[in-house]
Structure 1
């Protein structure tokens, strides 16, 4: 990059043009994704279906997930009905906010061009480009609150103004009721900040307002969690903390490393190619003003969280890890690497990088379209026959239906007036009806389904008489395959 083009990085006209272009691109992309989801239609994915079962108005808690996503989804359901539009709108608004907040936050220390090119690097993370669109919900809220926290924190460090520390406190509080692994972010940021002389000096007494505000925001949901541990901790088993203690390296340790590699492989490949084409410009380009501090801050945050996370997994003997749980650890790494790299990119390299991301976006859209119609696709399953067959059973109107999120949510979408609860522990505790219909996708025996009635705390589980179960085969719209469901009816003896 020449000295003239380097000077233009902070030119007002260039800054405004890049900012307008950045927001135009992310807005157009997520509008396209919203339209695509509505056009493709089909059944709901598991996390989407969960929202139809886990949004019974505004409550302090809803189960194992923290409530912020449910609150916003409840509001959108009130505005637009329990529709696919309301589900997809929230998902894409949060993803849009993730990119927007990170860009605005990075602008505290780096020029608009660097901020834009670094921010779009998030699209190289598979769980953000693909899974966040295809399946996840609460993880999207996690991404948005992490980005908001980064933005508020960077501006608070830059200006030291009370309003920015207040915004950071609000972001912390919202993140604290978005997803549990969010708390890795403030811990990592604080430790990284304290490890750097430049940023350590930026902390003042005003910083203390942030945790106080966060504490006020999380108080209600966390008190609910303490009073309802059976619901709030019902997903702890996912981590399988009962592994083989005789193993030198716990299974969770290898899965942890694999998860980090899965999330960072594509960003690493792209960064490597860009580095090859930009390494000669390094001596000329140097670092943009302020970028060194923020780059080091993000990279140190990753190192601290990466090591701490591995130690925790090892000590807790965690036996199962899903890569998306590691997003709070991986995000600082990807951001830090591209903060270091993008100021060195020539105009030609920047255009090539942007073209690569555009091609990836096209592939994601094409892949999501194919995923809708592939053999055995979740969205291709037809739930209408299930509703019809249940109606043909002539059950009492107040019959309680218990199913997993995927089946229960899709059934609730077709028959919104039916009483449908999830298979989470204690989900049917308040139901007094004397009829229950248990539905399972797995090949459970009647005895196992009876145990499900007890697990959801149906008050009549022990004294009910269970009619012999039956199998219902649901068809796919574009496949000859079928999805078998096991159904068992329980009735209290009169």
Structure 2
């Protein structure tokens, strides 16, 4: 009998995983059907894939390392970018589903918990729109959650090892991930049976694994701490010269709004799916609901400490991804623990999920195509690939100097094998051989400079190269039509070919 029940549960989850696999394949197809322009985070990956480093800047390097490996195998392309993102997302959902199945006795609730991730806007929509490091932290959070729950429920060496892997890659994905294992540890320590698992000698395996994974970046971080954290701290603490009291009010208020923004849609969808019994389910209690409640509570307290003592004035909802992605699982655990009677919630949930699964790729594509009607151009409407095609007809550059990482990443993809340098990333100083046959190409959005002059940072860079410092480049301009342009609208670029004198 138990074997039949286990088989039924496996079958239930298999259809969920098959549905999700098909969905993420559709997402890849939709991304490839959109213009070949890279978004901001995608362009960052293309640009920084030119070198392998222990650190790159404000974000930890896990996603960069992974994308570097895929680019090395499959080339720098939109397909490589789309495959990495959607493979990570599918694996995250898969691990989340396995975790749900591990601690939920009801297979329907396990399926709902997994599919419930689609009701989180920051996970279902924002990650597809143009995020990379947040995708990585969601993936690592799913790895950690699976290993952590498994180490509490049926501990073995593998569970402690997986937990360490999750912590390691999480810290290499986003620094705020540290709140998740810290909150989980504190939550488990408050439960006597779970406390035994924390003090198990195999916890050493978890700690050593996490340390070894993060070690290369830690060596880099000790010499680049300011560079790595300056931009994030600037965004977090920008309170417009407000008083301390006002900064605390702003930070606390943004935290409340972020939590509401993160959870509201999921709560609404679950209320529709389960009907009146959903409200009664909040009385349900179990060891697992208490664990997740404490994890979320400690996470909020950790952010409040940043508000009170770290000057944090702005908390964005997407920063809560590694802390509150457990919400669908938590709600299903509450429903199961309450023993309320409900009738076929999947019947009401699936139509809502179908709408979400159609709407997300539809909106992603539609907002780009709509430019032909409203003239409201997004980043993906920018005609970088068409610009590169025109420039390639004029010559083959040895190197490209681009004004900004967004332009640099797009030109990196479209002007291979030229080395691309960005004026906003002075840390990348490659040795390039510039000649009359293979000159330097400088490109910038025309708005970056007035008239026929180089942008300031490009001019400074040119002066820093001895063999090019005395050259006054001839400035040219080009107009290229937007993707989905309205009435033939074009975007203008400036460019200059620079080669050493004879």
Q: Which of the five TM-score ranges fits, normalised by the shorter chain?
A: 0.7 to 0.9
Aligned residue among 147, 157, 162 for 1:162: 157
Match of 1:12 in 2: 6
Contact residue 403 and residue 424 of structure 2 kept, 8 A: no
How has the CA–CA distance of structure 1 residues 87 and 462 changed in structure 2, closer, same or farther, with 3 Å as cutoff? Answer: same
Is structure 2 residue 400 aligned with structure 1 residue 382?
no
Aligned residue among 299, 306, 313 for 1:305: 299
How has the CA–CA distance of structure 1 residues 457 and 59 changed in structure 2, closer, same or farther, with 3 Å as cutoff? Answer: farther
TM-score after normalising by structure 1: 0.85
Contact residue 450 and residue 466 of structure 1 kept, 8 A: no
Moved more, 91-100 or 13-22: 13-22
Match of 1:151 in 2: 146
Contact residue 198 and residue 293 of structure 1 kept, 8 A: no
Contact residue 368 and residue 378 of structure 2 kept, 8 A: yes
Is structure 2 residue 485 aligned with structure 1 residue 479?
yes
Q: How does 1:450-465 map to 2 (within 5 A)?
A: 450-451=456-457
TM-score after normalising by structure 2: 0.84
Cα separation, 2, equivalents of 1:218 and 1:416? 32
How has the CA–CA distance of structure 1 residues 441 and 213 changed in structure 2, closer, same or farther, with 3 Å as cutoff? Answer: farther
Is structure 2 residue 419 aligned with structure 1 residue 419?
yes
Moved more, 397-406 or 83-92: 397-406
Count of aligned positions: 482
Match of 1:338 in 2: 332
Structure 1 residue 228 displacement after superposition: 4.1
Cα separation, 1, equivalents of 2:404 and 2:54? 22
Cα separation, 2, equivalents of 1:329 and 1:456? 46
Match of 1:262 in 2: 261
CA offsets per residue over residues 302-324 of structure 1, 9 Å max, x none? Answer: 11111221330343223544431
Contact residue 255 and residue 321 of structure 1 kept, 8 A: yes
Q: How does 1:72-87 map to 2 (within 5 A)?
A: 72-87=66-81
Cα separation, 2, equivalents of 1:10 and 1:471? 71
Structure 1 residue 19 displacement after superposition: 2.0
Cα separation, 1, equivalents of 2:135 and 2:471? 43
Moved more, 261-270 or 421-430: 421-430
Moved more, 476-485 or 170-179: 476-485
Q: How does 1:62-461 map to 2 (within 5 A)?
A: 62-111=56-105, 112-203=107-198, 204-229=200-225, 232-233=228-229, 235-236=231-232, 238-239=234-235, 241-243=237-239, 244-246=241-243, 248-250=245-247, 251-274=250-273, 276-279=275-278, 292-341=286-335, 344=340, 346-375=342-371, 376-387=377-388, 390=391, 397-431=397-431, 437=442, 439-440=444-445, 443=448, 449-451=455-457
How has the CA–CA distance of structure 1 residues 320 and 212 changed in structure 2, closer, same or farther, with 3 Å as cutoff? Answer: same
Cα separation, 2, equivalents of 1:327 and 1:464? 51
SS at match of 2:344: helix
How has the CA–CA distance of structure 1 residues 411 and 294 changed in structure 2, closer, same or farther, with 3 Å as cutoff? Answer: same
Structure 1 residue 10 displacement after superposition: 9.0
Aligned residue among 2, 19, 27 for 1:25: 19
CA offsets per residue over residues 376-400 of structure 1, 9 Å max, x none? Answer: 1322322245335655887x94344
Structure 1 residue 424 displacement after superposition: 3.7
How has the CA–CA distance of structure 1 residues 420 and 129 changed in structure 2, closer, same or farther, with 3 Å as cutoff? Answer: same
Cα separation, 2, equivalents of 1:188 and 1:280? 27
Structure 1 residue 325 displacement after superposition: 1.6
Contact residue 426 and residue 456 of structure 1 kept, 8 A: no
Structure 1 vs Structure 2 CA RMSD? 3.5
Match of 1:4 in 2: none
SS at match of 1:212: helix
Cα separation, 2, equivalents of 1:9 and 1:347? 25
Structure 1 residue 18 displacement after superposition: 0.7
How has the CA–CA distance of structure 1 residues 438 and 320 changed in structure 2, closer, same or farther, with 3 Å as cutoff? Answer: farther
CA offsets per residue over residues 402-434 of structure 1, 9 Å max, x none? Answer: 232322222222211222123444234344678
Cα separation, 1, equivalents of 2:226 and 2:278? 55
Moved more, 301-310 or 383-392: 383-392
Contact residue 399 and residue 419 of structure 1 kept, 8 A: yes
How has the CA–CA distance of structure 1 residues 393 and 314 changed in structure 2, closer, same or farther, with 3 Å as cutoff? Answer: farther
How has the CA–CA distance of structure 1 residues 338 and 371 changed in structure 2, closer, same or farther, with 3 Å as cutoff? Answer: farther
CA offsets per residue over residues 259-313 of structure 1, 9 Å max, x none? Answer: 2222222112223334543259869xx96xxx82222211211111112213303
Moved more, 72-81 or 377-386: 377-386
How has the CA–CA distance of structure 1 residues 459 and 278 changed in structure 2, closer, same or farther, with 3 Å as cutoff? Answer: farther
Moved more, 162-171 or 137-146: 162-171
Gaps of 5+ in 1: 1-6
SS at match of 1:191: helix
